[in-house]
């Protein structure tokens, strides 16, 4: 291989192998890209190796360990971020093993670098009353208020990641009973999540008011920005921040901490747990990946998930936002299992 073997393999790894053969999500590829951008910058600044002179033979265990140390000492990253950078480099080395066999021992030494232990802290979540206060802030008489209320209620009720909300199209939302939303999570894994009738009614009312109706609109973003494109994570965070700030003014004692979009997801999980829902059920509902063998066989069918969600449901939306609501007496049996 030429002196530019590193550049060749890295470009093939990021542009062809990850999206084409692995089927990695775009966010994963971008995270890996950022890792190698930081690695090349580190090599130029500290190892006297410019990007154009980087070669595979220089990707040693010692170099990678020095780079990882710099992420903590110079960039102030924690063990979790350091481990994320290591995971990207490990993946690249596994790719190289089958293509640069002469250096297989070198790559295996890189693969032997251990992850650092990370401290486990309880996820930040907010109470049911705090969620209710936040959802009471959007002005449902205005189009933007109906959008914000639908977005925030959907994000909480589904326990979705913020990117999953941003990626939603109108076709992912089903308003007819049983109301559901199709979420595409990490690794492009798709799951079907149930929605309570009040949440579905909010989203339906917003969509109709925004002109998101008909077959031609099914591929359009459910929550577009002003340009008609899907919202960014930053845009969704801005909407939440705006209404949290308003809620905090109305009741400063209740909302004392910063609330991120992911805190709504944590809150949904905690509220399910507090309602007595099994952790395995919560894992399935939120789309968490867990490789424990015992949990591989702990998949539960749609009816059990329906019962778990129904028992934990609390209507948090403002009573005057949708005056024609009818409270659920029972949720209809799933037509398809969650996660399929």
- Read out DSSP for 280-308? HHHHHHHT-----HHHHT----HHHHHHH
Token digits for 182?
Answer: 């199709």
1 in Cβ contact with 8 (< 8 Å) = yes
- Our answer to whether residue 268 is catalytic in this structure is no
- Our answer to whether residue 94 is catalytic in this structure is no
- Our answer to whether residue 297 is catalytic in this structure is yes
Rg (CA), the chain: 23
Q: How many CA atoms lie within 13 A of 255 on its CB side?
A: 22
- Our answer to whether residue 186 is catalytic in this structure is yes
Local structure of 75: helix, strand or coil = coil
Strand order in the sheet with 190-194: 173-174, 180-184, 190-194
Q: How many CA atoms lie within 13 A of 238 on its CB side?
A: 7
Given the residues 117, 226, 292, 297, the one annotated as active site? 297
- Our answer to whether residue 243 is catalytic in this structure is no
Given the residues 265, 268, 271, 306, the one annotated as active site? 265
Closest CA to 321 of 181, 150, 134, 130: 150
Closest CA to 190 of 23, 290, 339, 26: 339
Q: How many CA atoms lie within 13 A of 270 on its CB side?
A: 14
Three-state secondary structure string covering 221-273: ECCECCCCCECCHHHHHHHHHHHHHHHHHHCCCCCCCCCCHHHHHHHHHHHHH
In whole angstroms, what is the distance from residue 271 CA to residue 266 CA?
A: 9
Given the residues 4, 186, 233, 266, the one annotated as active site? 186
In whole angstroms, what is the distance from residue 311 CA to residue 67 CA?
A: 50
Given the residues 44, 99, 283, 288, the one annotated as active site? 288
Given the residues 182, 262, 266, 283, the one annotated as active site? 262
- Residues labelled as active-site residues: 161, 186, 262, 265, 288, 297
């Amino acid at each position: 291989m030429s002196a530019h073997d590193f550049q060749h393999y890295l470009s093939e790894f990021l542009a062809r192998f990850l999206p084409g053969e692995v089927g990695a999500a775009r966010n994963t590829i971008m995270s890996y890209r950022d890792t190698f951008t930081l690695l090349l910058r580190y090599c130029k600044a500290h190892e006297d190796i410019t990007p154009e002179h980087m070669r595979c033979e220089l990707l040693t265990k010692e170099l990678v360990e020095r780079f990882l140390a710099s992420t903590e000492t110079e960039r102030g990253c924690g063990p979790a971020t350091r481990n994320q950078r290591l995971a990207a480099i490990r993946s690249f080395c596994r790719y190289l093993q089958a293509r640069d066999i002469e250096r297989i021992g070198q790559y295996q030494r890189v693969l032997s670098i251990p992850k650092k232990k990370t401290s486990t802290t309880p996820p930040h979540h907010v109470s049911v009353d705090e969620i209710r206060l936040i959802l009471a802030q959007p002005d449902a008489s205005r189009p933007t208020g109906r959008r914000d209320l639908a977005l925030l209620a959907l994000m909480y009720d589904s326990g979705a990641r913020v990117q999953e909300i941003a990626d939603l199209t109108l076709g992912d939302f089903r308003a007819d009973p049983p109301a559901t939303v199709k979420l595409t999570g990490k690794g492009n894994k798709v799951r079907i999540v149930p929605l309570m009738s009040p949440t579905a009614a909010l989203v339906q009312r917003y969509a109709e008011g925004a002109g998101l109706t008909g077959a031609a609109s099914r591929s359009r973003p459910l929550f577009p920005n002003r340009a008609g494109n899907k919202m960014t994570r930053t845009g969704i965070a801005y909407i939440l921040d705006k209404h949290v700030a308003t809620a905090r003014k109305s009741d400063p004692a209740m909302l004392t901490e910063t609330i991120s979009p992911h805190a709504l997801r944590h809150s949904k999980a905690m509220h399910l747990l507090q309602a007595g829902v099994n952790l395995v059920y919560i894992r399935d509902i939120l789309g968490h990946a867990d490789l424990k063998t015992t949990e591989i066989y702990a998949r539960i069918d749609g009816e059990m998930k329906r019962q778990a969600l129904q028992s934990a449901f609390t209507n948090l939306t403002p009573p005057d936002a949708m005056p024609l609501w009818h409270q659920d007496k029972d949720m209809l049996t799933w037509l398809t299992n969650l996660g399929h």
